Amino acid sequence: MIRGKKALVILVSIPLLGFLLWHIGLGIFRCYAYKKVVLSSPNGLANLSGKPSTLEIPQDNNIPILSLGYALAGVPSESINAIKVIGDSSIIVATEEFKLSFVPPWASTWSTTDSNSIQSSSLPSILAKDPFSYEFGVKAANTMPKSYLKIFFMHPKEFLEYLILAGAKAMNVMNQNGISNFEAENIRGIVRFGQRKSLGVFAIEVFSKETNICQNITIISKDPVKSKEVLLSLLSSYKFLISEIPDENSLRELILTEIKKHEKFQERQ
């Protein structure tokens, strides 16, 4: 009778032990993946640790407006030394104190104006619609470091989503000096305040509030105070003039038609 009970205990214990070892192995693997993918990237923990703030955009109707063809941008025109259109129709605006780089706009395949919808939308649904959307950017920006203990016990599905978001944030070196979300009259987006060694370099992700058009803009200056000043002027006035993205040649023609009107326009040699 006793032997029978021992045998029963052994039979029950073996699958339970296997189940326990399996989950311990998964927990160890999750911790390893977190360290390898997220924390081992250059300055990964520093990039991931920045908690997003909200950037308040003041309303200023006295900012000189520069037409880019597809958008209007507030830039102190009296200080512009040169305006160029290069490569893939990127626009470079240069002054003595700063430089602005406007990458050609593109169309996001998904966008929502409902902030609650952003938080409630699942990551797979966001990634399936557009991995470069405002929604993904907001979710990634709000992702913070977790302890190894929490990582160890996370559900596999939850961990996969966390790894994607944390990895995207940790690998972006432009997060080191902070991240801000912003919302202006016509646009919304994310500002990344750059690397620690480059205090005056800001990366801006701009998304239209009316259409699915979006764009990347970079501000470069040796003076972070000047970069902040330019940033606020730019965002308070920025407005897309197009409702959809034209083909490459039409976009370039649209840009050149307006940019050539400016006295500081320079033909690329």
User: Count H helices, E strands: the chain?
Assistant: 9, 12
Burial class (CB in 10 A: 0-12, 13-18, 19+), 125: exposed
Higher pLDDT, 113 or 206: 206
pLDDT tens across 216-254, in order?
A: 999 999 999 999 999 998 998 899 999 999 998 999 999
Residues of the chain with pLDDT > 70, as a percent, come to: 81
Q: What is the pLDDT of residue 113?
A: 47
CB 72 within 8 A of CB 66: yes
Q: Confirm whether pTM is higher than 0.85.
A: no
Mean pLDDT of the chain: 82
How does residue 206 score in pLDDT terms, banded at 50, 70 and 90? very high
pLDDT band at 112 (very low <50, low <70, confident <90, very high): very low
CA 173 from chain centre, in angstroms, equals 11
Model pLDDT, residue 39: 84
Find the range with the poorest average confidence among 7-21, 103-117, 135-149, 183-197: 7-21
Question: What is the C-alpha separation between 259 and 70, in angstroms, rounded?
Answer: 11
Is pLDDT at 80 greater than 90 in this prediction? no
Spatial distance between the Cα atoms of 236 and 260, rounded to a whole number of angstroms? 24
Residue 120 has pLDDT above 80, yes or no: no
Over 80: is that where the pLDDT of 41 sits? no
Q: Average pLDDT for residues 13-40, to the nearest whole number? A: 77
Residue 211 CA to residue 112 CA, distance in Å, equals: 10
Give long-range contacts, CB 8 A cutoff, 24+ apart: 30-33: 30/151, 30/152, 30/154, 30/156, 30/159, 31/148, 31/151, 31/152, 33/163
Ranking 31-40, 114-123, 207-216, 255-264 by mean pLDDT, the lowest is: 114-123
Q: How confident is the model at residue 189 (pLDDT cuts 50, 70, 90)?
A: very high
108 touches 212 (CB < 8 A): yes
Residue 65's pLDDT band (cuts 50, 70, 90):
confident
Contact 31, 212 (CB under 8 A): no
Where exactly are the structural domains of the chain?
A: 1-269
With bands split at pLDDT 50, 70 and 90, how would you rate the model's confidence at 118? Answer: very low
Q: What confidence tens digit (pLDDT) does each residue in 126-172 have?
A: 554 555 678 888 889 999 999 999 999 998 889 988 998 998 899 88
**How far is the C-alpha of 141 from the C-alpha of 95, rounded, in Å?**
31
Q: Which residue did the predictor score with more confidence, 112 or 155?
A: 155
Please report the pLDDT score of residue 266 as a whole number: 73
Beta bridge partners of 183: 188
